[in-house]
Amino acid sequence: MDVYCMDDSAHIVRRVCISRGSRPRRSAGFTIFELMIAVTIAGILLAVATPNLRVFLQNNRLSAASNDLLRSFQVARSEAIKRQTQVVVCASANPTDALPRCSYGTFNGWVVFQDSNSNWTLDAGEPILERHDLLDTSITVKTDNDGIESYASTGFSRGIDTKSPTRNILICDIRGNEVSANLLSIERAVRISNTGRVRVSRVADDVTSATATTGACP
C-alpha cells in the first residue's frame, strides 16, 4: 500500500500522511439479524417472567388484606383497654361513608369504632378509630357468624344474645385452596379465639378447619 506524506503548511507544523487505497472504518451497530435475535430472547424472558409476576401480585394482595385485617383487630383490642370501653370491629359495605353501617357480612371492607352504648352498631357521635376501604375485586372473603367482633374494656371478646362474634375468616382469590409441598395454602385464614386473640395462618390444617365454618373459598 502506497503512503503519501505532505506538509500542511510552509513552516511544517505537522506532517499529514494519507494511505492510498485505505477503506473507511465500518460504523458500529446492529444488523437486522442481530436485532431479531435480541427481540426473540427478550420475548422468551418476558414469557417466563410474566406468570411469576402475576403470582407475586396475587400473593401480595392476599397478604396485605389479611395483615390489614389482623392489624384492625389488634387496634380494636388495644383501644378497648386504653379507653376502658367497648370497641367493635365490623364488616361494612360502605366503610368510607361519613357514618358507615355494619353489614354483618363478609369483611370486604370494615370499620373499628367505639361502641359507647354497647349495641354493636355505629351510632352518630361514636368515634371511628379506623376504617378500611373495600378490598380489590379479585379477592374473595368468607366469614362465619355475623362478621363482627366486640372487645370489652378488659381486652377480651364479648358477646350478646342477638349477635354471634366471628371466629373464622378466609381470604382467597380465583386459585382457591392450592396447597404447596410444605403444606402451606395460598388462602389466608384469620382465626379469632374465644378470648379475642387473632392470628393469620396459611397452614393447610388451619385453612381446612376455618373452611368448615365459613364455606369453601372462593
C-alpha cell recorded at residue 128: 371511628
Give the Cα separation of 143 and 146 in Å (integer): 8
C-alpha cell recorded at residue 41: 430472547
Give the Cα separation of 122 and 98 in Å (integer): 11
Confidence tier at 37 by pLDDT (50, 70, 90): confident
Residue ranges of the domains in the chain?
A: 55-214
Give the Cα separation of 152 and 76 in Å (integer): 10
DSSP 163: B
In CATH, what number does 55-214 get?
3.55.40.10
DSSP 20: T
CA distances in angstroms from 153 to 35, 78, 114, listed in the order given = 70, 9, 11
Q: How many CB atoms sit inside 10 A of residue 84's CB?
A: 9
Give the Cα separation of 207 and 29 in Å (integer): 57
Return the pLDDT at 36.
78
Return the pLDDT at 26.
57
End-to-end alpha-carbon separation of the chain, Å? 81
This prediction's pTM = 0.76
Given a cut of 50, whether residue 3 has pLDDT beyond it is no
pLDDT digit string (tens) for 44-76? 766 665 567 888 899 999 999 999 999 999 999
